[in-house]
């Protein structure tokens, strides 16, 4: 089976940059998506095809993917960005999610 | 904008079959992939499987022996059946639209909580 690993938590000060990593074997050869999930809500797609933002997603969200690691970067982090973030890829003919990263804005 | 709504029992007894339906509104179910994803309490997302509007399916290998996803285009609905449930199947179950080729799950339902308990 294909696995994606994320750090359990990331802390960031308001206005600073948060980086969330997602690691998997040769992940750079696959497309990665990222989802934001606020408490009690459904996930929201914030990045698709490694680096593209759906309509309505702020420019402060960006993504990259190379080698074995994909990264979601939140620039100028705001209090409203406090949430769980999940990476997702297609591996071994199945959809795979990372374990999720809780972003805390201190 | 397409909307998804899950429906079904919130309580299922151990060893029985969990059945949920997702209704697609303000859009057609045709020519898309539709998926079920679940989230146990306090845990991460787990993909269950998807179905194309024509009926072809793909399931998570870890659940494949117990899962059936079906589609009813005339009602703009798709459904999940999970057999022989245990407490480990207690979760919030989401339905979502899957865009193949790296586009991800772009539309999600609000989710429905299912508890497995006698």
**CA dist A23 → A1, A70, A73 (Å):** 14, 6, 15
Q: Determine which helix (DSSP H) or strand (DSSP E) holds A102, and give its type and residue range.
A: strand A101-105
SS3 annotation, chain B: CCEEEEECCCEECCCCCEEEEEEEECCCCCCCEEEEEEECCCCCCEEEEEEECCCCEEECCCCCCCEEEEEEHHHCEEEEEECCCCHHHCEEEEEEEEECCCCEEEEECCCEEEEECC
CB contact under 8 A, B105 and A90: no
Measured between alpha carbons, how far is B34 from B96 in angstroms, rounded to an integer?
Answer: 6
CB contact under 8 A, B45 and A1: no
CB contact under 8 A, B105 and A35: yes
As given in the structure block, the two tokens for residue A105 are: 């804005």
Q: Mean pLDDT in runs of 10 for chain B (118 residues)? A: 96 98 96 97 97 95 97 96 98 95 92 98
- Quick one: average pLDDT of A73-97? 94
B40 and chain A in contact, CB less than 8 A: no
User: Which chain B positions have a beta carbon within 8 Å of A83's beta carbon?
Assistant: none
Q: For position A50, what pLDDT does the model report?
A: 96
Q: For position B100, what pLDDT does the model report?
A: 79
Q: For position B27, what pLDDT does the model report?
A: 94
Q: Any idea what the Cα angle at residue A24 is, between residues A22 and A26, rounded to 5°?
A: 125
Q: How confident is the model at residue A93 (pLDDT cuts 50, 70, 90)?
A: confident
Q: For position A21, what pLDDT does the model report?
A: 98
At A20-41, the pLDDT tens digits run: 999 999 999 999 999 999 999 9
Pick from A3, A57, A70, A95 the residue to mutate for testing the B interface (most B CBs within 10 Å).
A95
């Amino acid at each position: 089976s294909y696995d994606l690993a994320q750090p359990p938590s990331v802390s960031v000060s308001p206005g600073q940059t948060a980086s969330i990593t997602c690691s998997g074997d040769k992940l750079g050869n696959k497309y990665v998506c990222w989802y934001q999930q606020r408490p009690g809500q459904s996930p929201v797609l914030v990045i698709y095809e490694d680096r593209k933002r759906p309509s309505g997603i702020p420019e402060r969200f960006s993504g990259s993917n190379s080698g074995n690691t994909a990264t979601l970067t939140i620039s100028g982090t705001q209090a409203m960005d406090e949430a769980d973030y999940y990476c997702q890829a297609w591996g071994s003919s199945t959809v795979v999610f990372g374990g999720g990263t809780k972003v805390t804005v201190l | 904008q397409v909307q998804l709504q899950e429906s079904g029992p919130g309580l299922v007894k151990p060893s029985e079959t969990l059945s949920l339906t997702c209704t697609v509104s303000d859009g057609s179910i045709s020519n898309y992939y539709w998926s079920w994803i679940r989230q146990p309490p306090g845990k991460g997302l787990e993909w269950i499987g998807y179905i194309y509007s024509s009926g072809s399916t793909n399931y998570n290998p870890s659940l494949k022996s117990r899962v059936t996803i079906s589609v009813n285009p005339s009602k703009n609905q798709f459904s999940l059946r999970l057999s022989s449930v245990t407490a480990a199947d207690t979760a919030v179950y989401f339905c979502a639209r899957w865009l193949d080729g790296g586009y991800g799950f772009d539309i999600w339902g609000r989710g429905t909580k299912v508890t497995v308990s006698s």
